[in-house]
Amino acid sequence: MSAMGELLAVCRVHQLLPDAGSVGITAIDKRPVEGRVKAGAYGLYADVQADRAHHGGLDQAVYAYAAEDVTFWEPELGREIPPGLFGENLRTRGLDVSGALIGERWRIGTVVLEVTQPRTPCATFARRLGSPPRWVRRFTEANRTGAYLRVVEAGELGAGDAVEIVSRPAHGVSAADWFGTWSAGAPAFAAAARLAGALRESAEAGEVRLSEDMDVRVTKALSR
């Protein structure tokens, strides 16, 4: 495929910070690093996740966020949003990250990544930004989620690399599509079931691998 973007920054944890959540610390303080960075099954080399029950693992190894979505949030928040402030590992330009399809694959440097699911905002995210009013709801309603990815092929990547979409499944369900219907609740039951059916058919055909969390959500949506 010919769709191309650019990797603007690679970010990993700068320091662990105290947090009011159940774990007591957070690794959301991500900041850009220079040079080539190794990426393996559990994410970027030397990056960590403090709350392993809700972050990290094979299906949330890497989190990407687009500069185009940042330009929406900067006037909303009245501040600059440097790479890593949203807790992202990859800041991109030229790709609709929130609109990436579940199961879509990207090549960056020598790394191949696969989109697994949208980001669900949490209270730690809000605290990271200084607790803007109604932040979790605002982020949810804007549906500019970014995307979690798993590492299909380990390798190295770095700022300035091209981001190439190398494959895209036929089901047409994006991270934003799924998050939008799931977060909307009762009014979106029919839409959620329709999207879930498309994802299940794609998974059964071997076109996409559902993450554990997505599989649970798909099952629930189909049982409504």
pLDDT of the chain along its 224 residues, tens only? 557 899 999 999 999 888 887 778 888 999 999 999 999 999 999 998 766 666 778 999 999 999 999 999 999 999 999 999 999 999 999 999 999 999 999 999 999 999 999 999 999 999 999 999 999 999 999 999 999 999 999 999 999 999 999 999 999 999 999 999 888 766 678 888 999 999 999 999 999 999 888 898 899 888 87
Res 102: pLDDT: 97
- What does the pLDDT read at residue 98? 97
Span 4-172: which CATH code?
Answer: 2.40.33.20
- pLDDT of 113: 98
State how far the Cα of 62 lies from the Cα of 149, in Å rounded to an integer: 5
Burial of 207 per CB tally in 10 Å (0-12, 13-18, 19+): middle
**Which amino acid appears at position 216 of this protein?**
V
pTM tops 0.75? yes
**Residue-level pLDDT at 124:** 92
Question: Which tokens is 212 given?
Answer: 């554990």
CB 51 within 8 A of CB 23: yes
Instruction: Bin 143: left if φ > 0, else alpha if -120 < ψ < 50, else beta.
Output: left
Calpha distance 197→59 (Å, rounded): 21
Q: How many CB atoms lie within 10 A of CB 138?
A: 15
What pLDDT is attached to residue 52?
64
Q: Could you tell me the end-to-end alpha-carbon distance of the chain, in angstroms, rounded to an integer?
A: 36
The residue whose two tokens read 């209270």 is 123
Tell me if 53 sits within 8 A of 68, measured CB to CB.
Answer: no
Residue keyed to tokens 């609740």 = 185
For residue 189, the tally of other CB atoms under 10 A from its CB is 13
Is 176 exposed, middle or buried, given 0-12, 13-18 or 19+ CB atoms closer than 10 A? buried
Q: Say what the pLDDT of residue 54 is.
A: 66
E strands present in 41-126: 43-44, 62-66, 90-93, 105-108, 111-118
CB 91, CB 4: distance < 8 Å? no
